[in-house]
Structure 1
Amino acid sequence: MKILGIDTSTRFCSLGLIEEDSVLIEYTLNNSKKKHSSILIPTIKDMLERINLTLPDIDGIAVSLGPGSFTGLRVGLGVAKGLSYACSLPLLGIPTLDALAFSLKEIPYLICPILEAKRDEIYDVVFRGGNKLSKVLDYKCEDIYNLVVRVSLLKEKVIFLSESIKKYQDIIKEKMGKDALFINPQVLLSKGVNIAFLGLEKLKKGKGDDIFTLSPFYLRKSEAEINWEKKSDK
């Protein structure tokens, strides 16, 4: 089966097309100066043309649900829903943090993917690797200090991975020492492919999502909601 994976959760727009355990094509674009909405459809079209495929040749569309950029997530999910509806393809929602950890799933350590949130907070989760990912600590939005305290209590080696890992490395090392391991951020650029592989696993289990009810997994309130609540409390 062929699955298209779409990730727009960060400034990198990552797309991947797989067939079973093979990667057919992948694109990763640093989208810091352009909106995902302006490049997503043309890039998908270009990908398919390069390998002589059309959308009806695909068996499913997997998309990152978040957490991540609120706007980016809405754009990615909107495009995925539109393509799914137009071509009657299964829609497969995948948590972004799962996709980050997927590349390391064979490693028998604890794996902690991190995404930056706003207000000096991060999104995180902890998995145990080894053939497949099993969740040890649930998804959370918190500050890095709180994460380090929680993870250090596990008293195991933990692989931390993040596009911003250099920002947090010293804080983590100070508390965890040699139990903290770090991965080169370049590993994280294939999220579209990982989204596709996780989508394939989900499709084979018959767990497609409802196009009308699937929504982003924000994990925290938007800035607008936070500001509105502050005004309401006054």
Structure 2
Amino acid sequence: MLVLGIDTATKVLNLAIVNNSEVIIDYKVNRMEKTHSTLILSALNNMLNLSGIKLKEIEGIAVSIGPGSFTGLRIGLSTAKGLAFALSIPLIGVSSLESSAFSWLSLPGILCPIIKARRGEYYFALYEYKNKDSSIVKDYQCAKWVEIKQELLEYRDHIYIFGDGIEDIIKDEKIENYGHIANIYFINNSLNTANAVSVALLGEERIPKKECDDIYKLLPLYISKSAAEVLIEKDPVLIIKK
């Protein structure tokens, strides 16, 4: 089954196509000064041309629904919904943190995917995989690194932490060569930036199980409030100011 994966949760625009658990193509674009909205359709067209696959051959779409960039998530989800509707194919929403953890199934311990949020905070969750089945040790949260670190140190198991924003933590902690703090092990890999392949693979698993989402009801997974919402809470008059 040809499944298109879309991940716009971070500053990297990532698209991928998988077929029967095999990766056909993994296409990444660092948006630099541009936004996902100006890149996503041309990136999709370029990826299809490189792979030799026609859009009408895609049989399902899996999209990252967050947590992550507020604007990026909306763009990715809107694109996925439009394509799924136009092609009359299944749509599956996948958590950004779950797809990130899915990339590290072989690690013997608790997995802690992390995504940089705003105001010095990070989105994170804790997963444990046994026999390819996942269980949530701690559900999605948003907190500052000092709070996350304190909580992780309470576990006896090895905890592997990875994801977008990990470089800032390593720099602040003055950790060399991606070492560890007690039971917390830092992982460096190109998979830290985006996970469209994992998104697509998870979607491919769920389509036969009929675990698809409603195009009209699927929404981004927001854990923290956007910058605009925070400003309005501080000064409600902002909403009517010119």
- TM-score normalized by the length of structure 2: 0.90
What letter corresponds to residue 140 of structure 1 in structure 2? Answer: Q
Contact 2:10 2:193 in 1 (8 A): no
How far did 1:59 drift? 1.3
Cα distance in 1 for partners of 2:96, 2:173 equals 24
- 2:133 aligned counterpart, secondary structure: coil
Q: How many Å separate the matches in 1 of 2:163 and 2:235?
A: 34
Identity %: 36
Report the residue type matching 1:157 in the other structure: H
| 1-structure distance, mates of 2:35, 2:236 | 32
Between the aligned partners of 1:163 and 1:76, the Cα distance in structure 2 is 18
**Which has more helix, going by share of residues?**
1
Q: Which residue of 2 aligns with 1:32?
A: 32
> Deviation at 1:133?
2.6
* Alignment size in residue pairs: 231
Greater shift after overlay, 224-233 or 87-96? 224-233
Equivalent position amino acid for 1:209 in 2: D
Contact 2:163 2:193 in 1 (8 A): no
Q: Which moved more, 1:81-90 or 1:47-56?
A: 47-56
Corresponding residue to 1:198 among 202, 217, 227: 202
Counterparts of 2:182 and 2:174 in 1: how far apart (Å)? 10
Q: Deviation per CA, 1:50-105, whole angstroms, max 9, x where unpaired?
A: 23322221110011001111111110001000000101011110011111111101
Question: Following superposition of structure 1 onto structure 2, how do residues 2-17 of structure 1 map, counting pairs within 5 Å?
Answer: 2-17=2-17
Q: Partner of 1:133: helix, strand, or coil?
A: strand
Higher mean C-alpha deviation, range 160-169 or range 59-68? 160-169
Q: Distance in 1 between matches of 2:168 and 2:236?
A: 35
The RMSD of aligned alpha carbons is 1.8
What is the CA distance between 1:190 and its match in structure 2? Answer: 5.0
Q: Within 1, Cα distance between the matches of 2:104 and 2:32?
A: 27
Cα distance in structure 2, aligned partners of 1:26 and 1:185: 15
* Alignment pair present for 1:221 and 2:225: yes
| CA displacement 1:36-61 (0-9 Å, x = unmatched) | 11111121122222233222211100
Q: Aligned partners of 2:181 and 2:9: how far apart in 1? A: 31
Secondary structure, counterpart of 1:216 in structure 2: coil
Check 1:162–1:70 CA distance in 2 against 1; reply closer, same or farther (3 A cut): same
- SS of residue in 2 equivalent to 1:181: strand
How much has 1:196 moved relative to structure 2? 0.2
Structure 1 counterpart of 2:201, one-letter code: F
Runs of at least 5 residues in structure 2 that lack an aligned partner in the other structure = 238-242
Q: Distance in 2 between matches of 1:116 and 1:28?
A: 19
Structure-to-structure mapping, 1:72-221, within 5 angstroms: 72-130=72-130, 131-169=132-170, 171=173, 177-189=181-193, 191-221=195-225
Equivalent residues in 2 for 1:36-55 (5 A)? 36-55=36-55
How far 1:120 moved relative to its partner? 1.1
Contact 2:12 2:194 in 1 (8 A): no
Q: Secondary structure at the match of 2:181?
A: helix
Contact 2:10 2:194 (8 Å CA) reproduced: no
Deviation at 1:161, TM superposition (A): 0.2
TM-score in terms of structure 1 length: 0.93
